[in-house]
Structure 1
């Protein structure tokens, strides 16, 4: 049984009722100075991750070659031009707002709490938020304060993605790894979650040596915390399988908790329940499974009869957790790091762990280039509809090859919400191409 972080309306008002995303304390509401227990504030930082779930799920798969839209203007996800900002209200705006609310709540805990574990969890959540923001937008505003100065709007200027990684994401995760417990309690962040995310961050930044160290530690040590691959792929997904042994960290979802995101949720999009894409399954993903005969993941991931994905069953859809990090993902990233560091044989050992569960023979790849492609292909089949495909293509430099067309690199990133640009009088700027 999962535990969802419950927050009273009053506490949410203390934390985040605001005129804009960076205004932390509204007039006539008690400030954080009067709090002694910041566990509720930490719960808010967890809660606001909910608003990022569906947008990143759609961006990760519908922008890529796993799924596509049918109804205009949603078809802009499949068009690489300047018109994508029309999707702001449903995707980019809620995503941006939710993550900065999570960051503000995390800042409050980090600055004011005397509980070292709470602070470490807050740093994990702040790093996770900024990592998502950088993946989607590239350069972003850095705010590490509870109360940003309303007079100094220059602090809102976007900072280079490399600076966000080096001054916020990586240090926060290093601190979280050092302070968090190895035991996963009620699905909250653990040392394994922080270490896995840190390894992923290093992979995204091209630091394969550091990635190998962090990811290898998770692969070799996670079993001590009961983290292991599910024997059957289908047992990872569905409400009844939330927080199973393979899940290292998930954003917990419950119909009893009102989600600020007010549109169709991720299970609806992948399952073809939203009228904007009643048959979202891309034929290219079907072809990828055709090239992997006997793959036990096929029936779990795609349904050719309805041209949609049953991966997140529609029964109890509003109860499905969103998987942020699971062990199979970590193993494949570890394989990638090993291969990039010259240990191709070791990479194949890790890759074949995932293939074995899928009912497949060992990979026939031999050269580093072949293994690199084999890992990318395996990630696609293993993680389809988990919001990862587009970001994998961008970070590996394989967008054109995999998408089958030359795409302007401006459109590797997504448009910054125009509402943020207007609200800051242009201090926050738009990404090139939009």
Structure 2
């Protein structure tokens, strides 16, 4: 990387590190934007910086990641001595430093994305039309992904689509549904702007299929069943690009199942280093024994993706989806979107539409790869229960899927409650329904006048 390109990339990332979380000092940012978008080469580095910023925070796979923290909040993980007990007990304080990071990191990506979009629209921008379209689609995708994470962690959040500090320094929370509308708009725009090809055959930058896969998930979360089925089917139908591979190869760099991954610079994903137990007692987190016991003994996902160690008479289970604990050689990328989830999305969307037979077929595809028998269509309730279990077996310790599923799925016993109430209340005496949302960071409430009295209930 040339020194000037590195300098401009660093500037566009670090200009979000100011005292206000969603507000940026305007003179410096205007200067950087005009400089960064003076050529194709430098603009390419700006988008590379956006992905690098993702990996430096909540997408890292380390102890500050959504995978780790949301796994503790659900019924998936048990903390070791490395921290996270407040997430495990769902007793998080608003001045928690990690909560502040979970809030501010996505807003860093949103600001960078907004800056890129602004720069691409400048009349003085000396960027080719093809690259302008590509970078615009990528920026819109990352903005949508960042907002998806924010609203599923915090609920209503400020919706900022600008770099204007006059707006960002005093902005109220926006309804979650309005934010979802913007996410869908961004993802549809990304679909239209991006090609279906991966750049340099590396699955680490957004393309049309990446946007489509996230859009399928968004529609599922919103209960737009037909739309979710259509988008998931589009990804599944692209079997020239996406195919299942053996379980021990799913999380390898550029695997056939990967839709979107992130790559660290000359290093493996941090997930293995976070979870794999070495020759000492468990430090970070282990899988709940009840989760391990829920697997069919013949399920190959259990034998391939879970390993145990015994210390002082106690057996600990840990995920081995990622196995490369050393920094190099690089064999594993952080996998964010993959094919198996699209089958789960389509199956659930089909059940809600009464398409039980084809939904059962989707689940059977995953079960056959795991060495299990096909299932047959049953009642709607039985199928939804099976899909809930299959999502655990397939997606455990990935990107907070279990935590988000518990929050979005209705209770089986009490109207208005969620599956989180059903399953976490027996595990945590202090559980409250309001715990499904994390607290808004205290520093955000103090610095943003429009949010002064906008804390989530229960905190």
Aligned residue in 2 for 1:182: 196
Aligned residue in 1 for 2:48: 43
What does residue range 314-329 of structure 1 map to in structure 2 within 5 Å? 314-316=324-326, 320-329=332-341
In the alignment, the residues of structure 2 paired with residue 335 and residue 12 of structure 1 have an alpha-carbon distance, to the nearest angstrom, of 43
**Does 1:299 pair with 2:303?**
yes
Post-superposition shift, 1:278?
4.7
Secondary structure of the corresponding residue to residue 141 of structure 1: coil
Among 341, 348, 358, the alignment partner of 1:346 is 358
Change (3 A) 1:49 1:14: closer
Aligned residue in 2 for 1:229: 244
Aligned residue in 1 for 2:422: 401
Aligned residue in 1 for 2:445: 421
Aligned residue in 1 for 2:33: 32
- Would the aligned equivalents of 1:272 and 1:279 in 2 still touch at CA under 8 Å? no
In the alignment, the residues of structure 2 paired with residue 322 and residue 66 of structure 1 have an alpha-carbon distance, to the nearest angstrom, of 20
- Larger gyration radius, structure 1 or structure 2: 2
Post-superposition shift, 1:404?
5.8
- Would the aligned equivalents of 1:137 and 1:416 in 2 still touch at CA under 8 Å? yes
Task: Kindly provide the CA deviation profile for residues 147-184 of structure 1, in whole angstroms up to 9, marking residues without a partner as x.
Answer: 3316x743x21111111011x20100011112211112
Secondary structure of the corresponding residue to residue 158 of structure 1: coil
Secondary structure of the corresponding residue to residue 79 of structure 2: coil
What does residue range 27-426 of structure 1 map to in structure 2 within 5 Å? 30-34=31-35, 35-37=37-39, 38-50=43-55, 51-53=57-59, 54=61, 55-71=65-81, 74-81=84-91, 83-85=92-94, 88-89=96-97, 91-113=98-120, 115-149=132-166, 153-154=169-170, 156-166=171-181, 168-185=182-199, 186-187=202-203, 188-220=205-237, 222-224=238-240, 226-230=241-245, 232-237=246-251, 241-255=252-266, 265-272=270-277, 277-278=283-284, 280-289=286-295, 292-305=296-309, 306-316=316-326, 320-364=332-376, 366-387=378-399, 388-397=401-410, 398-403=419-424, 405=426, 407-425=431-449
Change (3 A) 1:7 1:298: farther
- Would the aligned equivalents of 1:59 and 1:390 in 2 still touch at CA under 8 Å? no
Secondary structure of the corresponding residue to residue 198 of structure 2: coil
Task: Kindly provide the CA deviation profile for residues 4-57 of structure 1, in whole angstroms up to 9, marking residues without a partner as x.
Answer: xx9724422144324233344576673313433332222222222111124211
- Aligned-pair RMSD on alpha carbons? 2.7
Aligned residue in 1 for 2:124: none
Post-superposition shift, 1:365?
5.3
Number of residue pairs the alignment of both structures matches: 409
Change (3 A) 1:46 1:72: closer
Change (3 A) 1:370 1:415: same
Post-superposition shift, 1:353?
0.5
Task: Kindly provide the CA deviation profile for residues 80-99 of structure 1, in whole angstroms up to 9, marking residues without a partner as x.
Answer: 34x4446x32x322222221
In the alignment, the residues of structure 1 paired with residue 271 and residue 305 of structure 2 have an alpha-carbon distance, to the nearest angstrom, of 14
In the alignment, the residues of structure 1 paired with residue 219 and residue 300 of structure 2 have an alpha-carbon distance, to the nearest angstrom, of 31
Secondary structure of the corresponding residue to residue 248 of structure 1: strand
In the alignment, the residues of structure 2 paired with residue 174 and residue 103 of structure 1 have an alpha-carbon distance, to the nearest angstrom, of 17
- Would the aligned equivalents of 2:407 and 2:420 in 1 still touch at CA under 8 Å? yes
Stretches of structure 2 that go unaligned for 5 or more consecutive residues are 121-128, 310-315, 411-418
In the alignment, the residues of structure 2 paired with residue 327 and residue 33 of structure 1 have an alpha-carbon distance, to the nearest angstrom, of 39
Change (3 A) 1:344 1:385: same
Aligned residue in 2 for 1:262: none
In the alignment, the residues of structure 2 paired with residue 25 and residue 360 of structure 1 have an alpha-carbon distance, to the nearest angstrom, of 57
Among 4, 14, 22, the alignment partner of 1:16 is 14
Aligned residue in 2 for 1:431: 456
Secondary structure of the corresponding residue to residue 183 of structure 1: coil
- Would the aligned equivalents of 1:365 and 1:374 in 2 still touch at CA under 8 Å? no
In the alignment, the residues of structure 1 paired with residue 140 and residue 325 of structure 2 have an alpha-carbon distance, to the nearest angstrom, of 34
- Would the aligned equivalents of 1:16 and 1:24 in 2 still touch at CA under 8 Å? no
